[in-house]
Amino acid sequence: MNHEALATELRDLRQQVSGITDTALAASDGLLIAADTANSIEPEGLAAMAAASVGLARRTSVATARGRFRRTVTYGAHGCAAYYAVGDTALMVVLGDEGMDVDRLNAVSGPIVERIGSILTDSAGKPATAKGA
Amino acid sequence: MAGLPAVRVSAGHDLLSGALAACARERYSGRVLVVGTPGGVLHLRDGLVVAAESPGAPGPEALLLRSGRIDAGVWDAVLRESGGARPPWAMLVARGALGAAQLRVMCLMAMRDAVFAMTVGQVDGVGHDPGGEPSAPVEPGELPARLLQDAARKIRALAALPYPVVPWRERPRPAGGVAVLGVLRREIVRHADGRRTARDLAFLVGRGVYPVTVEIARMLADGVLAQDVAPAPIPVRAAAYELRPREAPDVGERTPDRRDGLPRRQPGAGAPGWKGFFRLRHGGPAQHSRQPRDT
Average pLDDT over residues A75-89: 92
Provide the total of helices (H) and of strands (E) in chain B, helices listed first: 10, 6
Is A101 in Cβ contact with B39 (below 8 Å)?
Answer: yes
In contact, B62 and B107? CB cutoff 8 Å: no
Q: What angle do CA A85, A86, A90 make, to 5 degrees?
A: 95
More confident residue, A44 or B83: A44
In contact, B163 and B217? CB cutoff 8 Å: yes
Nearest-neighbour CA in chain A from B254: distance (Å): 18
Is A120 in Cβ contact with B239 (below 8 Å)?
Answer: yes
Provide the total of helices (H) and of strands (E) in chain A, helices listed first: 3, 5
What's the CA gap between B199 and A99, in Å, rounded?
10
Average pLDDT over residues A2-15: 92
| Cβ of residue B201 closer than 8 Å to a chain A Cβ | no
State the pTM of this model: 0.82
What's the CA gap between B208 and B113, in Å, rounded?
6
Nearest-neighbour CA in chain A from B39: distance (Å): 10
User: What HEC string does A56-78 produce?
Assistant: HHHHHHHHCCCCCCCEEEEEECC
| Cβ of residue B101 closer than 8 Å to a chain A Cβ | no
Is B234 in Cβ contact with A10 (below 8 Å)?
Answer: yes
Task: For residue B147, give the amino acid letter.
Answer: L
| Cβ of residue B250 closer than 8 Å to a chain A Cβ | no
Is B237 in Cβ contact with A89 (below 8 Å)?
Answer: no
DSSP code of B262? B
Burial class (CB in 10 A: 0-12, 13-18, 19+), B176: exposed
What's the CA gap between A27 and A25, in Å, rounded?
7
Q: Is the pLDDT of residue A99 over 50?
A: yes
Nearest-neighbour CA in chain B from A39: distance (Å): 9
Q: Is the pLDDT of residue A133 over 90?
A: no
Domain ranges of chain B: 13-155, 173-226
In CATH, what is the architecture of A3-119? 2-Layer Sandwich (3.30)
pLDDT given at position B283 = 45
- ipTM score here? 0.85
In contact, A17 and A108? CB cutoff 8 Å: yes
Is B233 in Cβ contact with A98 (below 8 Å)?
Answer: no
Question: Helix, strand, or coil here: B199?
Answer: helix
Instruction: Please report, in tens digits, the pLDDT of each residue of chain B (295 residues total).
Output: 444 556 666 667 788 999 999 999 999 999 999 998 899 999 999 999 999 999 999 999 999 899 888 888 888 888 888 876 677 888 888 888 888 898 999 999 999 999 999 999 989 999 998 877 887 889 899 999 999 999 999 999 999 999 999 999 999 999 987 676 789 999 999 999 999 999 999 999 999 999 999 999 999 999 999 998 888 888 888 665 677 776 665 555 444 454 555 667 777 665 555 444 444 444 444 444 444 444 3
Closest alpha carbon to B166 in B114, B232, B217: B217
Nearest-neighbour CA in chain A from B56: distance (Å): 6
